[in-house]
Structure 1
Amino acid sequence: MIAQRLLLDGSLLEIARARVQSWLEGGHPIPEYARAWSEILAQDMGTIAGSLIDSSERGRELRQSSPFAGCLSAQERWRLWREVRSLIEQTDDT
């Protein structure tokens, strides 16, 4: 959902870049993630969006410390959780 929104609203990219810059300047609990996000956010929009939906272990690790935190409202997050839970339950039933 954030990847789609990013493609429609470039201002999210500037917010994320500013957040990563503050991580780099002020310290981040995991500096490696801050550096990795800095490199990702320097890429083109398609590459950035791809990183947001990367299903690899590295992609999941980076999303634990996403500069896009706060881009979704609480309602949007809960809707996503419900959709995922429903998909998991459907998979368990088969």
Structure 2
Amino acid sequence: MKGDSGSTWAPPPRPEVRSLALHKIIAEKLRADPSLLRQAISTLNRWKSADGTESADRLEWRELLQGPVDGILAILVDPGPRGIRLRNASPFTGVLTNEERMRIIKAWRAGELTALIRD
């Protein structure tokens, strides 16, 4: 289908692609600095204090954060249903700088994320 400009129209990338790209950068940072796990645990604790309860996804994150870093890294970049579900409840908020986030968001809006999420 052609748009008014004559270029081929393509649907925007799915939100899961943006989330995967963001979490791929988080995984790289976590691999370089495993102490970032403390920040994720602190986030879960803050959410529990604010809500007074924990969802199944948050409980699953809490269990993952007690395990090996490799397991956490795998979930952060898992393109499957479990990875998508857990990224939607990710406790790694605040790990990325604003510049890192904006780079991904701009690439997502421009439809240029394919290269960023490839292994």
TM-score range normalised by the length of the shorter chain: 0.7 to 0.9
4 and 87 in structure 1: CA distance in 2 versus 1, 3 angstrom threshold: closer
**What percentage of residue pairs aligned between the two structures are identical?**
32
Pair 1:33-2:57 in alignment: yes
**How far apart in 1 are the matches of 2:81 and 2:106?**
23
Larger Rg: 2
Provide the TM-score with structure 1 as the length reference: 0.78
Q: CA deviation at 1:16?
A: 0.5
Structure 2 unpaired stretches of 5+: 1-24, 115-119
Q: CA deviation at 1:80?
A: 1.7
Q: How many residues align?
A: 88
Pair 1:86-2:112 in alignment: yes
Aligned CA RMSD, in angstroms, stands at 2.1
Structure 1 unpaired stretches of 5+: 89-94
Pair 1:63-2:82 in alignment: no
Between the two structures, name the one with larger relative contact order (CA 8 Å, sep ≥ 6). 2
Provide the TM-score with structure 2 as the length reference: 0.63
Equivalent pair of 1:24/1:31 in contact (CA under 8 Å): no
Q: After TM superposition, what 4+ stretches of structure 1 lie above 4 angstroms from structure 2?
A: none
83 and 38 in structure 1: CA distance in 2 versus 1, 3 angstrom threshold: same
Among 45, 58, 65, the alignment partner of 1:21 is: 45
Pair 1:72-2:101 in alignment: no
